[in-house]
Amino acid sequence: MRKYSKRKLIIFHALILLLVFTFSNLNAINPKSTKNEKAWFQTLNKITEDKLKKGDILIKKDYKGISPVVKAQKLFIAEMGSKYSAHALIYLYNGKISECSNAKKGVFIGQISEYWEYGLLVYRCTDNIPRHGAAKIARSWAADTGESKNISYSTQHCFHAWTNSSAFGDKGKERARHVARTKKWPTDEMMCSEFVTYCYQATDPPAIKLDAKHTAPIRLEDYLNKASNFKFVGRIHPVKK
């Protein structure tokens, strides 16, 4: 197999990223499509914060059309996932969440109230053991305040997700086994949905059988809608505090 230098790989990925954003900018978000999904979102069962449970997966919906994640995900194909799913995070307790965010440059503990401007989809694992295990990992990997000192956010993994499959192959299984065995992160860089997926691979067998490294938010949502061990709980609009 031909080997490429690190410089050539960087150039290749930069060209892929340029292609994604060029395509996205030339093809703005369809306002009719946005309107239709916003209307669909409003038909979903609405829940309040007190109904959330430890380890719930939250998917942020962004209908403003300016998010680079939303634009890039126009190139993805997902039967039961939406390009408007821009971010993934894990609920902990008492309004606290754990997430891997570009804004804070890594994994950190935040407040769900920070997302008062957005709607969130709520998915729950039907097995309490992996759900509680995911919450424990999400808490232990995160910085309490400010920037994460352990894991940094990776934009590179974001566009890797487009050029690679999220199918649970040998490398994905190897990283999942590492998390289950050591309870440590397999890479020092990750994106939001990759972080959530790893948290649900802390138990054996893993509750989410995807290659975390290549799982974009749209693919995570698609998986959760199809998986027999997850259920959709409802939508939530956090209260501003």
Structure tokens at 208: 């989410």
Q: Examine residue 241 and state whether it is found in any structural domain, yes or no.
A: no
DSSP 8-state assignment for residue 60 = E
- For residues 196 and 49, what is the distance between their CA atoms, to the nearest angstrom? 20
Domains of the chain: total:
1
* CA 154/CA 195 separation, integer angstroms: 11
Per-residue pLDDT in tens (0 to 9) along the chain, 241 residues: 444 565 655 665 565 555 555 444 434 445 558 888 889 999 999 999 999 999 999 999 998 867 788 877 887 878 899 899 999 999 999 999 999 988 767 899 999 999 998 999 999 999 999 999 999 999 999 876 555 557 888 888 877 887 889 999 999 999 999 999 999 999 999 999 999 999 999 999 999 999 999 999 999 999 999 999 999 999 999 888 7
Nearest to 85 by CA among 203, 202, 193, 204: 193
In a domain, 191, yes or no: yes
**Does some domain include residue 26?**
yes
**Cα distance between residue 233 and residue 116, in whole Å:** 19
- CATH number of the CATH domain containing 219: 3.90.1720
Residue with tokens 């957005």: 118
* CA–CA separation, 217 and 158 (whole Å): 10
Strands 119-125 and 230-236: what pairing?
antiparallel
Question: What is each CA distance from 26 to 62, 228, 229, in whole angstroms?
Answer: 19, 38, 39
Q: How far apart are CA 18 and CA 63, in angstroms?
A: 23
- pTM for the model stands at 0.86
Identify whether 1 is part of a domain: no
Residue 39 belongs to a domain: yes
Q: Could you tell me how far CA 13 lies from the centroid of its own chain?
A: 21
Domain annotation covers residue 55: yes
Asked if residue 198 lies in contact with residue 190, where contact means CB atoms within 8 angstroms, the answer is yes
Domain encompassing residue 178: 6-236
Residue type, 110: G
Q: Residue 207 falls within a domain, yes or no? A: yes
User: Which residue blocks in the chain are alpha helix, DSSP H?
Assistant: 6-26, 31-43, 68-72, 128-140, 155-163, 170-182, 192-199, 217-226
Biggest alpha carbon–alpha carbon distance for the chain? 56
CB 143 within 8 A of CB 109: yes
Do residues 57 and 88 make contact, with C-beta atoms less than 8 angstroms apart? yes
With respect to residue 75, please indicate whether it lies within any of the assigned structural domains: yes
